[in-house]
Amino acid sequence: VLEPDLPAFLSSVEGVVGATHVLTDPEVRAGHETDWTRRFVGRTPAVLRPGSVGEVQALVLLARRHQVSLVPQGGNTGLVGGATPLGGEVVLDLRRLDDLGPVDGPAGQVTVGAGVTLTALQDHAASAGLSFAVDLGARDTATVGGLVATNAGGLHVVRFGSMRAQVLGVEAVLGTGEVVRSNLTGLVKDNTGYDLPGLLCGSEGTLGVITSARVRLVPGVGPLLGALVGFASVTAAVEALPVLRSAPGLRALELMRAVDLRLVAGHLGIEPPLTPLPPAVVLLELEGPNDLVGALGAVLEALGPAVVASAVADGDRLAGLWRWREALPEVAAALGIVHKADVSLPVGALAAFEAAVETTIRAHSPSSTTLVYGHLGDGNLHVNVVGPGAADDGPVDAVLELVLELGGSVSAEHGVGRAKVAWAARQRGEVATTMLRAIKQALDPDGILNPGVVVG
Ligand code: FAD
Ligand code: 2HG
Ligand code: ZN
């Protein structure tokens, strides 16, 4: 058995990436050692910034030779501690892999580097009259590598699916040091065996370092119309789902609660978006070419008295409606260290979950503040708990227990990271966990890629 030899590894890496891309300054490292929530704080001896797949491969081979563990990192916006070097690993910052390939118009696809930000990818697609289907609040910072590695969801899953539905091909350096290139030509139909791009989606840096991805693009965004639709309760909003879902051109179906919107109003120093503010507010967004005003009117009419208030908007005013939804994670973060449960539930259990979740949390942490919001159309709620100390997992554990009782998932879209390893194992069961471990062992036999993440 080889012993880890960090000094030997570090003395070789300059020869691969050049001295300017080996960052050891404590202040620079600090930004890579803590996650967005500030709940996960690790330490790293160095941050390495490779600029090509060849450099990534050379670093992984060196890491393997010297038995040094690596944590791949993109924008560091992940919310489950998956990109934090909690065990003193070396950080691989992949943001220099920022090539934007030419948009393949006839195929409606593009190949981009792992370090490209979501905004850059969206802008690139838009310059060719197309768009990229995934969108989320961290768009300016989150990278394609991170989005693939976490199988990110976001705001348009109800229309286009998650990241896995967009990824046709990937290039990655496996834990063995080998480079795998799978379907980078973007074949839509390719049944030659196991789906390797799909496997790397959601692998959270534990199987390979993603260096580029071939992704599907969708038609350019047409005219948009949005609305805040108020309901007397979350139960009423859930009961309205069949009608809300049938809205023509539906591309977002988000849930917010009055109690949390009041926190946003206080934080932003503005008046709540509806007066009086209904207990549950759904943000609905529709995309043309059809008569959106008529379509939205028909939806509101079909819902009848279930709708207790509504506000319709397009253009800048629609962006204003989105501000309410996108501010929620920021507001939670401004209140303190946030414990997050990103959960999905069978639609039939959503309202029962929401009704029980605060009591469940208060039983463990009576003075905590809880925010609940999320992607209603996907059955995905984000429970944010502020108050318990950074190491106090009690309240979130109780939430996840409730989720499993109700037949839900302990991670809907953020991944497992280091935060949810035991819970994910419990949810998937022994046979599936053994299968995941076998895959990990095959692709990263020395366990040098993101140890402790996903399968522990
Ligand atoms: P990082 O945080 O750097 O890494 C995340 C994981 O991916 C880690 O396990 C890391 O090791 C791995 N990784 C990163 N790059 C690579 C690579 N090149 N190869 C292999 N592994 C890699 N998520 C959603 O799903 N939906 C949302 O709506 C959403 N909204 C958000 C809003 C805010 C304000 C914030 C802060 C986060 C939000 N997120 C959301 C979470 C986060 O943005 C996503 O998980 C995103 O995909 C992470 O991308 P990143 O580049 O920041 O990855
Ligand atoms: C969102 O939907 C993100 O806003 C973040 O997934 C969720 O902060 C959260 O809990
Ligand atoms: Zn989300």
Task: Look up the pTM and report it.
Answer: 0.98
Element holding 197 (H helix, E strand) = helix 196-200
CB 433: neighbour CB atoms within 10 A?
A: 18
Look up residue 164 and give its DSSP letter: G
3-state secondary structure of 63: helix
DSSP readout, 403-447? HHHTT-BS-SSS--TTTSHHHHHHHH-HHHHHHHHHHHHHH-TT-
Q: Is 170 helix (H, G, I), strand (E, B) or coil?
A: strand
370/393 Cα distance (integer angstroms): 14
Q: Which ligand does the CA of 385 lie closest to?
A: 2
d(CA 78, CA 73): 9
Cα 80 from Cα 420, distance rounded (Å): 7
pLDDT at 1: 57
Ligand 1 pocket residue status of 115, Cβ below 6 Å: no
pLDDT at 316: 96
Token couple for 253: 């179906």
Tokens of 448: 């040098």
- E strand residue ranges, 199-337: 208-216, 218-219, 224-231, 250-257, 280-287, 309-313
Ligand 2 atom nearest to 414, measured from its CA: 6
Which amino acid belongs to residue 179? V
User: Tokens representing 168?
Assistant: 């046709």
Alpha carbons 27 and 141: distance in angstroms, whole number:
19
Chunked mean pLDDT (size 10), the chain, 456 residues: 89 98 98 95 98 98 98 98 98 98 98 99 98 98 99 98 98 98 97 97 98 98 97 98 97 98 97 96 94 96 97 96 98 96 98 96 95 98 96 96 98 98 98 98 98 95
| Confidence (pLDDT) at 325 | 98
Query: What is residue 2's predicted lDDT score, i.e. its pLDDT?
Result: 72
What spacing in Å lies between the alpha carbon of 382 and ligand 2's midpoint?
6
Give the Å distance between the CA of 91 and the centre of ligand 1. Answer: 15
